[in-house]
Amino acid sequence: MKEFELIKEFFSFSQSKSGAVIEGVGDDCAVLSIPDKRQLVTSVDTLVEGVHFFSDINPADIAYKSLAVNVSDLAAMGAKPLGFTLAIALPKVEEDWLKAFSDGLQQASTAFDIPLIGGDTTKGPLTITINVLGTVKTDRALLRKSAQLDDDIWVTGYLGDAAAALGLHGKAQSRQLNNAEHYLWQQLLRPKPPIVFAKKLAKLAHAAIDVSDGLLVDLGHILEQSHCSAKIKVSSLPLSEQLTEFAGLEGAREFALNGGDDYELCFTAKPSMRNKILNLAEDLNINVHRIGSITAGEEAEIQLMLDGKPYKPKRQGWQHFSE
Amino acid sequence: MKEFELIKEFFSFSQSKSGAVIEGVGDDCAVLSIPDKRQLVTSVDTLVEGVHFFSDINPADIAYKSLAVNVSDLAAMGAKPLGFTLAIALPKVEEDWLKAFSDGLQQASTAFDIPLIGGDTTKGPLTITINVLGTVKTDRALLRKSAQLDDDIWVTGYLGDAAAALGLHGKAQSRQLNNAEHYLWQQLLRPKPPIVFAKKLAKLAHAAIDVSDGLLVDLGHILEQSHCSAKIKVSSLPLSEQLTEFAGLEGAREFALNGGDDYELCFTAKPSMRNKILNLAEDLNINVHRIGSITAGEEAEIQLMLDGKPYKPKRQGWQHFSE
Q: What is the pLDDT of residues A255-293, one digit of tens each?
A: 999 999 999 999 999 999 999 999 999 999 999 999 999
Query: Over pLDDT 90: what percentage of chain B?
Result: 78
Q: Which residues of B touch A85 (CB under 8 A)?
A: 42-44, 131
Q: Please tell me chain A's helix, strand, coil percentages from 3-state DSSP, rounded to the nearest 5.
A: 40, 25, 35
Q: Are both B184 and B50 inside the same structural domain?
A: no
Residues A149, A228 contacting (CB under 8 angstroms): yes
Residue after which a domain boundary falls, among B113, B137, B161: B137
Q: Are both B217 and B202 inside the same structural domain?
A: yes
Select the residue from A22, A29, A85 to test the B interface by mutation, using most B Cβ atoms within 10 A: A29
Taking alpha carbons only, the member of A217, A197, A220, A218 closest to residue A209 is: A218
The domain that holds B292 is classified in CATH as 3.90.650.10
pLDDT at position A92: 84
Q: Are both B177 and B299 inside the same structural domain?
A: yes
Q: Which residue of chain A has the CA closest to B76?
A: A28
pLDDT at position B122: 86
Residue A126 lies in a domain: yes
For chains A and B, CB pairs below 8 A equal 216
Q: Are both B127 and B163 inside the same structural domain?
A: no
Q: Which residues of A touch B210 (CB under 8 A)?
A: 28
Q: To the nearest whole angstrom, how far is the Cα of B87 from the nearest Cα of chain A?
A: 6
Is the ipTM higher than 0.90? The answer is no
The total of structural domains in chain A comes to 2
Q: Which residues of A touch B143 (CB under 8 A)?
A: 23, 27, 31
Residue B319 lies in a domain: no
Residues B236, B181 contacting (CB under 8 angstroms): no
Which pTM was predicted? 0.90
pLDDT tens over chain A, length 323 residues: 455 566 667 777 655 556 788 888 788 899 999 988 999 999 999 999 888 888 889 999 999 999 999 999 999 999 999 999 999 998 888 888 989 999 999 999 999 999 999 888 888 899 999 999 999 999 999 999 999 999 999 999 999 999 999 999 999 989 999 999 999 999 999 999 999 999 999 999 999 999 999 999 999 999 999 999 999 999 999 999 999 999 999 999 999 999 999 999 999 999 999 999 999 999 999 999 999 999 999 999 999 999 999 998 876 543 333 32
Are B40 and A31 a contacting pair at CB < 8 A? yes
pLDDT category at B3 given cuts 50, 70, 90 is low
Three-class HEC string of A249-292 = HHHHHHHHHHCCCCCEEEEEECHHHHHHHHHHHHHCCCCEEEEE
Q: Are both B236 and B254 inside the same structural domain?
A: yes
Q: Which residues of B touch A46 (CB under 8 A)?
A: 87-89, 120, 122, 124, 127, 129
Range of the domain at B196: 144-310
Residue A212 lies in a domain: yes
Q: What is the pLDDT of residues B56-65, one digit of tens each?
A: 899 999 999 9
pLDDT category at B1 given cuts 50, 70, 90 is very low
Q: Are both B83 and B150 inside the same structural domain?
A: no
Are B28 and A125 a contacting pair at CB < 8 A? no
Select the residue from A44, A140, A146, A318 to test the B interface by mutation, using most B Cβ atoms within 10 A: A44
Q: What is the dihedral of CA A319, B2, B7, B9, to 10 degrees?
A: 80
- Phi-psi group of B301: left, alpha or beta (phi > 0 → left; psi -120 to 50 → alpha; rest → beta): beta
Residue after which a domain boundary falls, among B104, B137, B170: B137
Are B120 and A44 a contacting pair at CB < 8 A? yes
pLDDT at position A317: 46
Q: Are both B258 and B111 inside the same structural domain?
A: no
pLDDT category at B16 given cuts 50, 70, 90 is low
Q: Are both A114 and A171 inside the same structural domain?
A: no
Q: Which residue has the higher pLDDT, A153 or B317?
A: A153
Q: Which residue of chain B has the CA closest to A27?
A: B144
Residue A209 lies in a domain: yes
Select the residue from B4, B27, B136, B146 to test the A interface by mutation, using most A Cβ atoms within 10 A: B27
Q: Which residues of B touch A23 (CB under 8 A)?
A: 141, 143
Residue B33 lies in a domain: yes
CA–CA distance, B240 with B248 (Å, rounded to integer) = 11
Three-class HEC string of A123-139 = ECCCEEEEEEEEEEECC
- DSSP annotation of B53: B
The domain that holds B100 is classified in CATH as 3.30.1330.10
Q: To the nearest whole angstrom, how far is the Cα of B118 from the nearest Cα of chain A?
A: 7
Whether pLDDT at B94 is above 60: yes
pLDDT at position B2: 59
pLDDT at position A14: 59
Write down the mean pLDDT value for chain B. Answer: 91
Residues B154, B277 contacting (CB under 8 angstroms): yes
- A34 φ, ψ (degrees, to nearest 5): -115, 125
Query: Which member of B28, B44, B87 has the closest CB to residue A73?
Result: B28
Q: Are both B287 and B157 inside the same structural domain?
A: yes
Q: Are both A128 and A157 inside the same structural domain?
A: no
pLDDT at position A204: 98
Residue B302 lies in a domain: yes
Q: Are both B148 and B240 inside the same structural domain?
A: yes
Are B41 and A34 a contacting pair at CB < 8 A? no
Residue A316 lies in a domain: no
Are B39 and A31 a contacting pair at CB < 8 A? yes
In sequence order, what are the residues at sequence separation of 6 or more whose Cβ sits closer than 8 angstroms to the Cβ of residue B272?
none
pLDDT average, residue stretch B162-178 = 93
Residue after which a domain boundary falls, among B137, B156, B177: B137
Q: Are both A84 and A196 inside the same structural domain?
A: no
Are B34 and A34 a contacting pair at CB < 8 A? yes
Are B33 and A41 a contacting pair at CB < 8 A? no
Residue B238 lies in a domain: yes
Query: Which member of A42, A51, A129 has the closest CB to residue B117?
Result: A42
Are B87 and A44 a contacting pair at CB < 8 A? yes
pLDDT at position B315: 63
